[in-house]
Structure 1
């Protein structure tokens, strides 16, 4: 297995091309049963190590399941080494890099849907879900607080960005991470179908968006989705890795649990960006200027309304 320890993984900067294996753990968590799901994590980690996985990624709320309702308060953990569940996950990251997701509680007893990148027994990056769907069957704002930042981060495999489910439906967030230097976008979901026809398929929409991000940003895009079923609907799996040319590297099955392994070769970034130099030609200064203009216009309109 490709692995070396660094004193501070969060500060380690990638500066050379490399190949590494990514495992997409599209599991079906047991709703509300943290011990069972932690045991499942260890089972999957053991299998992934045997298959030479360097980075293993679990879906949204892999530690708890998604449709928790008021049970969210009972299954929350702290993203700290003195929390026994989180400490267990940190220890597991001594074996391979991990991304997993859980209900996080902070010191003021606010709840977040969070995801952590762990490496070498340390927390490298924590992302709190920013956009909380509160429409249709979804009512996340009843229980959870929205996160307040979207930032890329350095790992031993390169600079990455991490988003959770509804976050990826807002194109501003992948764009921000791309401009912050992310060459690899990790997108995790508990994305469910709701019985619509194919024209309205959630799976089709998500796969179209994630592939579009790979194409537009000439990034690797990894999407890992749950499987199983609860009151929200049927989680369709279909986890995928796209290359920076938007080609499919590997894709998981629909509607069944699996650990799918694909190789990322960061040497593919340079030719993709030579062929399609969107990063070179992007104008973030123009975007910032125009957004400020729009915000100023909206403030003036709101003041007139008052």
Structure 2
């Protein structure tokens, strides 16, 4: 319960039909295991106390009374566990029998959420035994305790920020208007579903997508616990499917036809931040019919919790190989579509690109080729220029020429050394002084050459700078910072690599070799003289590893996390790659540069948005150029 993270579990015990004593014993074992594993909550299947497939035995008072005694025993046995338990149980009240989920903590019965939608079709005939949840919560005496019973209960934690639990049962999820929708609108961030859904061919896939998509719509976490081994197989088979999803992402899934616990760490802060970010998300004020029940954990439990969730090192890049292939194809299509539409709109059939032989300019050229294919324009309109300066190596210059030739586009070399030396003479800059003026003069000269060449041919200068460079301000103001259309503006450096690799893997052998050599070349602006013919100025040695900076950038902009939380996330995710001291050092560098370099982002050229994180001043991110970063740096210094 640190940094907004808590652990929950979905549990499938072995079931005995009408064997209350055995069922209670098995649930007790799993509850103790969940508590030992640091879980804050565990959800068991629908009617887990008795078994779901009891049929007309649900009419028998002996079974109903045994279920109540069994639940009392389970609450007593788990009374010392700081674990919120949700257990399916039949509850008799007045003239009806209700399919409920008993919610209890440390032996106290908090409430009895009841099933709202009672299925009575195909293999389901629950209406034969059960009554739908009452419209308004009723106070019932159950297990010797008074508690609310109904379909509108919300359990709010007093000492874990952002934790509010809602419960719906099995069929409630499958209907057009699930009760969890209103529960989430009233503040529930964690939704638990005790279920007993039989298994048929294709149903597991549908169930998985249903849980994922519902969690996405509600900006919530959703845990689903299904009954399994031991339920009657007279007419059905049950697989014990266990699922935990968070805002559309499947965090954990139990293997079908198994019993036991499936656990995941939920990020409540991420859910709350996402709801705040989306202006279309509106929480309802608590309606009169919503019953809110408060609970709290022991403070020592909250303090002792240690998160185990490891976040992807490259959040901009899908982890699945197949998904990555599709994503790369889609991103290249979006980039090229943006450029194609701009060219058609201004009536232009020529683009000008400074081709350095590095990753970013290579990607910009690949995008331009696809845009020309889209518009059915001849490649002669793609004019690339190598502009060697004082730091250019033969390796990058050669790669630039090979790539241009293999793609069949125009290539020309224009040295900037003479022009820059004249500029040094004009302003009194010593060529021996390797300072920022020495570097930036070359970058600005290249941009001037490209702009003038574009004027000559009525073309458009395609920008090459990427999102990571914009975040760090690693661009020369009015130099490589400027273009007429910036196709890479929303592509972080970690993703640039995958896009170029994707293009290489779908290219002919000669082009593939050249692209792979670009991938193996150290990232560098090549503005300082080479050492023994090799690149002397390596960007990641100066500003830090891009994989760290992209990690910081994603969780800062996408979710607004604090530096402390991002630091601890990075320490877990990059354990073994970087020490905590190194991570903290580069985190401080990131925040300092991110704030001080905003002025460069305030006047960016147009460029297509392809992901959820961008820095366009006209779209996703707006910050004053003179915003102060002291609060963020002070938090980092306290780590």
**Does the alignment reach a TM-score above 0.5?**
yes
C-alpha distance in 2, partners of 1:93/1:277?
Answer: 42
Q: Is the deviation greater in 137-146 or in 263-272? A: 263-272
- Report the counterpart of residue 162 of structure 1 in structure 2: 167
Q: 1:38 to 1:187 in 2, by over 3 A?
A: same
C-alpha distance in 2, partners of 1:283/1:102?
Answer: 30
- Report the counterpart of residue 259 of structure 2 in structure 1: 257
Structure with larger RCO (C-alpha < 8 A, sep 6+): 1
- Report the counterpart of residue 84 of structure 1 in structure 2: 69
Describe the SS at the equivalent of 2:73.
Answer: helix
- Report the counterpart of residue 302 of structure 1 in structure 2: none
Aligned 8 A contact 1:192 1:232 in 2: no
Superposed displacement of residue 277, structure 1: 4.3
Q: Is the deviation greater in 220-229 or in 131-140? A: 220-229
Can you give the 5+ residue segments of structure 2 that lack an aligned partner in the other structure?
135-150, 286-639
Alignment of 1:195-274 (within 5 A): 196=201, 201-228=202-229, 229-230=231-232, 231-244=234-247, 246-273=248-275
Alignment of 1:1-306 (within 5 A): 18-72=4-58, 73=60, 74-77=62-65, 83-91=68-76, 92-95=78-81, 96-106=83-93, 108-148=94-134, 149-156=151-158, 157=160, 158-172=163-177, 173-194=179-200, 196=201, 201-228=202-229, 229-230=231-232, 231-244=234-247, 246-273=248-275, 276-280=278-282
Aligned 8 A contact 1:25 1:59 in 2: yes
Q: 1:254 to 1:276 in 2, by over 3 A?
A: farther
Q: Which has the higher helix share?
A: 2
Runs of 4+ in 1 over 4 A off after TM superposition: 274-277
Aligned 8 A contact 1:28 1:227 in 2: yes
Superposed displacement of residue 260, structure 1: 1.5
C-alpha distance in 1, partners of 2:97/2:284?
Answer: 36
Aligned residues: 259
C-alpha distance in 1, partners of 2:42/2:235?
Answer: 26
C-alpha distance in 2, partners of 1:270/1:145?
Answer: 35
Rg: which structure is higher? 2
C-alpha distance in 1, partners of 2:189/2:98?
Answer: 26
Q: 1:210 to 1:277 in 2, by over 3 A?
A: farther
Aligned 8 A contact 1:151 1:180 in 2: no
TM-score scaled by structure 1? 0.77
Superposed displacement of residue 120, structure 1: 2.4
C-alpha distance in 2, partners of 1:128/1:241?
Answer: 21
TM-score scaled by structure 2? 0.38
Describe the SS at the equivalent of 2:64.
Answer: coil
Superposed displacement of residue 272, structure 1: 2.8
Q: Is the deviation greater in 258-267 or in 229-238? A: 229-238
Q: 1:47 to 1:86 in 2, by over 3 A?
A: same
User: What's the RMSD between the two structures over aligned residues?
Assistant: 2.4
C-alpha distance in 2, partners of 1:105/1:187?
Answer: 21
Q: Is the deviation greater in 27-36 or in 85-94? A: 85-94
Describe the SS at the equivalent of 2:171.
Answer: helix
Aligned 8 A contact 1:23 1:48 in 2: yes
Superposed displacement of residue 70, structure 1: 1.2
Q: Is the deviation greater in 47-56 or in 181-190? A: 47-56
Q: 1:232 to 1:272 in 2, by over 3 A?
A: farther
Q: Deviations over 1:41-98 (max 9, x none)?
A: 112122223322221211111111111111113321499xxx5323223221431221
Aligned 8 A contact 2:24 2:71 in 1: no
Aligned 8 A contact 2:45 2:88 in 1: yes
Describe the SS at the equivalent of 2:48.
Answer: coil
Superposed displacement of residue 99, structure 1: 0.8
Q: 1:278 to 1:145 in 2, by over 3 A?
A: same
Describe the SS at the equivalent of 2:168.
Answer: strand
C-alpha distance in 2, partners of 1:62/1:179?
Answer: 28
C-alpha distance in 1, partners of 2:79/2:219?
Answer: 29
Aligned 8 A contact 2:215 2:221 in 1: yes
Aligned 8 A contact 2:244 2:263 in 1: no
Superposed displacement of residue 274, structure 1: 5.1
- Report the counterpart of residue 475 of structure 2 in structure 1: none
Aligned 8 A contact 1:75 1:103 in 2: no
C-alpha distance in 2, partners of 1:232/1:61?
Answer: 18
